[in-house]
Structures are given as structure tokens and as C-alpha cells.
């Protein structure tokens, strides 16, 4: 497997699963095979893929058991429209998974160990992480090669992302990850053209105001184009489809494609 990308935030409702499914679709459009892992107990990936709720043994909980035998519970996604996308779903069983991993001596490395023992044939693995930092975040961090961060350009989300980036830096050292996963980029999402959001994205023209792009430049982290709040994105979710299938001509698809291209170029 070329790349394992953990899609993270440090707050809920900022578009992690939307980003996961749409980037997976764009990678598949380019002929790449992709598997999405739903690490969120909310089970959002199931809804976004238009699938039914899985049984416990069909979730990621099964994969993270010590007695896992390599038979990944993968569901094909959007096969009537595109080839190459599979999903390993999350859901409520992951609440118990998280508690179990805390007590497991190799809990932080449970996913990394499994992927090493039982490699998947896919070109890319996208991990849809929970909304706030917890044990499954640690497990995803230990398994991934790269991290993609998404946030809304609100004050509270900027503060949450700052804490997330600090946590990533500290935790990858504590876990002695070699090579350490790098932050591939930050994706601002849900822009509604409000004064606070314009200030945070550096669009207000106020001198001396520290914006998200300024901070990312100092940290040498790529910032992707801002995704505007769009009703078509929500409608696509309700239909269980990525935006690229629900409304192929929508301009936001170009941003998802740009992110997919960055992932592919980074794997070369």
C-alpha cells in the first residue's frame, strides 16, 4: 500500500467524512484503488456511502481484535458508477474498541500491526477519524503515513486545530514513529463568507491580523483552497454519493481533485 492517510480534526461537524468520501472518489477516477476505514463511532461513513448499518463482526472493531485473521470486512462502494472503492465501516462497537485498546499493551499499534501482518492490495487507505482526540486517533496516527486536517474557519476550530497539530507533533515522538507521519495539508471547509471567517482566512485585508494561511506558511504546511458551504454537498450525502457523482459539474470537485493529485504526487 502506497499511502495511509488519516483525516483528522479536533472538533465535530467540520467535514472529515465528506472529505474522505470525495477524495476517495477522485482517487478512483484516476484509476487508483482505495479503501476507507471508518474510525468514528458515529458511523458517518456508512451514511455517506449509502450503505446499511453493519453487524458488529462487519465493522472495524473486528479488524482491531487481537485474534483478527486477515479477513477484512470490506463493502464495495458505488460499484454501479465507479470501480475501485471499498469501505471498512465504523459505528457504535468502536466505543468498546477504544476502551479495549487503552488496556492493550499494543493498543496504539493495533491497526499498524494488522496492516503489516495482513496487507491490503489497495493503492490508498483513507482513515476517517473521530471528531475529538482519543484512543482511536492514536491508533490511526501510528498506522498512517500522512495526515490531512480539515476545519471550519471559526475561532474555536482554529484553536482546536492548533492543539491537534501540537498533539500530533508530541504523540508521534512518544510513539517513536519512523518515519513519522507528516501533515499533508489543511483543508478549510464550510466557508459562509462571514466576517470572522474572512478574518481567519486572511480575506479581510486587515494588516497585522494573523490568519490561517499565515500560520500554515510559518509551519510549512500546505493549505488547500477553501471549500465553500454548499447545499449540493449536503444533498449528495443524503443520496449516499460523493459530490462528483451527484453533481459532476460542481466547482468544488476541482478542490477534491487537487487534494487527490497531491496525495498521488506525494506517493511517487
Would you state the pLDDT for residue 95?
92
Would you state the pLDDT for residue 248?
97
Q: How far apart are CA 21 and CA 78, in angstroms?
A: 11
200 within a domain of the structure (yes/no): yes
Residue ranges making up the domain that contains 252: 3-261
Residue from 159, 181, 161, 186 nearest 259 by CA: 186
Would you state the pLDDT for residue 2?
77
Where residue 209 falls among pLDDT bands split at 50, 70, 90?
Answer: low
Where residue 268 falls among pLDDT bands split at 50, 70, 90?
Answer: low
Strand partners, 5: 126, 146
CATH number of the domain that 126 lies in?
3.40.50.300
Those residues whose C-beta lies under 8 Å from the C-beta of residue 187, and which sit 6 or more positions away, are 15, 19, 148, 149, 150, 151, 223, 224, 227, 255, 259
Instruction: Compute the residue count for the chain.
Output: 268
Tell me the three state secondary structure of residue 136: helix
The mean pLDDT of the chain is 93
**Has residue 94 got a pLDDT over 70?**
yes
Mean pLDDT value across residues 24-38 = 98
Would you state the pLDDT for residue 1?
56
Would you state the pLDDT for residue 207?
58
111 within a domain of the structure (yes/no): yes
Q: Cell 471528531 belongs to which residue?
A: 131
Cis peptide upstream of residue 179 (ω within 30 degrees of 0): yes
266 within a domain of the structure (yes/no): no
Higher pLDDT, 207 or 153: 153
60 within a domain of the structure (yes/no): yes
Would you state the pLDDT for residue 241?
97
Q: How far apart are CA 140 and CA 160, in angstroms?
A: 18
Number of domains in the chain: 1
pLDDT tens per residue, range 214-258: 889 999 999 999 999 999 999 999 999 999 999 999 999 999 999
Q: How far apart are CA 266 and CA 145, in angstroms?
A: 11
267 within a domain of the structure (yes/no): no
268 within a domain of the structure (yes/no): no
Would you state the pLDDT for residue 256?
98
Mean pLDDT value across residues 51-60 = 94
Q: What is the pTM of this model?
A: 0.95
Mean pLDDT value across residues 49-67 = 94
Amino acid at each position: 500500500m502506497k499511502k495511509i492517510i488519516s483525516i483528522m480534526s479536533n472538533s465535530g461537524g467540520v467535514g472529515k467524512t465528506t472529505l474522505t468520501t470525495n477524495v476517495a472518489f477522485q482517487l478512483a477516477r484516476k484509476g487508483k484503488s482505495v479503501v476507507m476505514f471508518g474510525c468514528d463511532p458515529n458511523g458517518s461513513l456508512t451514511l455517506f456511502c449509502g450503505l446499511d448499518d453493519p453487524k458488529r463482526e462487519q465493522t472495524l472493531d473486528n479488524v482491531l481484535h487481537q485474534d483478527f485473521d486477515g479477513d477484512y470486512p470490506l463493502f464495495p462502494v458505488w460499484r454501479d458508477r465507479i470501480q475501485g472503492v471499498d469501505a471498512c465501516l465504523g459505528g457504535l462497537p468502536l466505543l468498546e474498541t477504544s476502551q479495549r485498546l487503552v488496556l492493550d499493551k499494543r493498543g496504539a499499534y493495533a491497526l499498524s500491526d494488522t496492516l503489516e501482518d495482513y496487507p491490503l492490495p489497495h493503492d490508498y487507505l483513507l482513515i476517517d477519524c473521530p471528531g475529538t482526540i482519543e484512543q482511536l486517533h492514536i491508533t490511526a496516527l501510528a498506522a498512517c503515513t500522512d495526515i490531512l486536517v480539515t476545519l471550519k474557519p471559526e475561532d474555536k476550530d482554529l484553536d482546536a486545530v492548533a492543539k491537534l497539530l501540537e498533539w500530533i507533533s508530541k504523540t508521534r515522538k512518544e510513539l517513536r514513529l519512523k518515519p513519522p507521519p507528516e501533515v499533508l495539508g489543511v483543508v478549510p471547509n464550510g466557508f459562509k463568507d462571514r466576517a470572522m471567517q474572512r478574518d481567519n482566512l486572511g480575506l479581510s485585508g486587515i494588516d497585522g491580523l494573523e490568519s490561517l494561511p499565515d500560520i500554515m506558511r510559518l509551519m510549512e504546511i500546505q493549505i488547500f483552497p477553501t471549500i465553500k458551504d454548499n447545499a449540493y454537498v449536503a444533498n449528495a450525502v443524503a443520496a449516499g454519493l460523493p459530490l462528483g457523482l451527484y453533481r459532476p459539474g460542481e466547482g468544488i470537485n476541482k478542490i477534491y481533485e487537487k487534494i487527490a493529485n497531491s496525495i498521488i504526487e506525494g506517493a511517487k
